[in-house]
Structure 1
């Protein structure tokens, strides 16, 4: 069960945004990721709880940020409820999309599991609902993902297989690289892996 810490920063000016303390695990029915988010000074700012089925679809998503909460799942596309603590501003939403995305590294792992690309495959288009802090307002976007290469790195225990993806925002044309190893993000825009207590889990 990988457990560790990501540092989060603005991908454009590198302003520190905080840290995400996580643990995750694979199982016979899918994958679960749980994390707590803090400011650069250590104050709690939110949490992520994401469960995927064996095909990479979101069985259950629960996000907390500031005074907002979102619960969602794959249902007739993706369906969610966004609410404030009192429930006064609760809103339901549904979009014909493949999955969710957001600021957490968990969503990069989730999208890669959903697409299951192989090196050399044509870039695959995917529609996602983005939920980003601090207000978690939903926004539908289209990306394309391509797996450029996989490379095995020697470690003290077993080879570490690193996947290098190219991700394009199809609205803005912005392009960036994402580096994954099993169920851990090694590096991506705004994300750095700072600490990892055990090796990543390998997906079968």
Structure 2
């Protein structure tokens, strides 16, 4: 079960945004990721709890940020409820999208797992609903993902495959590269892996 923490920063001006302390695990029914997010001063800022099925679809998502909470799942596309602490401003939403995204590294692993682009096979297009802190307001966006390379690295526990993906925002044309190994993000815009207590899990 990989356990560690990421540092988060603004991808444009590198302002520190805090840290995300996580653990995750694969199982017979899919994958689960749980994390706690802190501010640069160490105060609690939110949490992520994401469960995928064996095909990479979001079975359950629960996000907390500031005073907002989102509960969501893949249902008739994707469906969610966003609420404040009192429940007075609770709203439901649904979109013809494939999955969710947001600031957490968990969503990069989840999208790669869902799409599984083949090396050299070109880009795969997907529609996602993004929830970004601090207010977790939903926004629908389109991305394309392409697998550029898969590079084995020798470790004490056998070869570790590092996958390099090119991700395009189809609305803005913005393009960036992310590196994943199993269920751990090695690097991505705004995300750096700072510690890892056990090797990444590999998906079946």
User: TM-score band (shorter)?
Assistant: over 0.9
Contiguous gaps of at least 5 residues in structure 1: none
CA distance in 1, matches of 2:121, 2:98: 19
The residue number in structure 1 matching 2:2 is 2
Structure-1 separation of matches of 2:198 and 2:122: 33
For 1:120, the equivalent position in structure 2 comes to 120
Match runs of 1:56-135 below 5 Å:
56-135=56-135
Aligned to 1:13: 13
TM-score w.r.t. structure 1 length?
0.99
Deviation of 1:191 after TM superposition, in Å, equals 0.2
CA distance in 1: counterparts of 2:77 and 2:145, whole angstroms? 19
Unaligned runs of 5+ in 2: none
Tell me the CA shift for residue 26 of structure 1: 0.1
1:170 lines up with 2:166 in the alignment: no
1:199 corresponds in structure 2 to 199
Structure 2 CA distance, aligned partners of 1:155 and 1:73? 36
SS in 1 for 2:108: helix
1: distance between equivalents of 2:106 and 2:87?
27
Equivalent residue, structure 2, for 1:148: 148
The separation in 1 between residues aligned to 2:146 and 2:166, in whole angstroms, is: 5
Using the alignment, how far apart are the partners of 2:5 and 2:136 within structure 1? 22
User: How many residues of Structure 1 are paired with residues of Structure 2 in the alignment?
Assistant: 204
2-structure distance, mates of 1:67, 1:25: 28
What is the CA–CA distance in structure 2 between the aligned matches of 1:70 and 1:47, rounded to whole Å?
11
User: Secondary structure of 2:35's match?
Assistant: strand
TM-superposed CA distance for 1:123, in Å, is: 0.4
Q: CA deviation at 1:91?
A: 0.2
Cα-to-partner distance string for 1:163-201 (whole Å, 9 max, x where unaligned):
000000000000000100000000000000000000000
Cα displacement (A) at 1:156: 1.8
Deviations 1:129-175 (A, max 9, x none): 00000000000000000000100001122111000000000000000
Aligned counterparts, 1:37-48, within 5 A? 37-48=37-48
TM-score calculated relative to the size of structure 2: 0.99
RMSD: 0.4
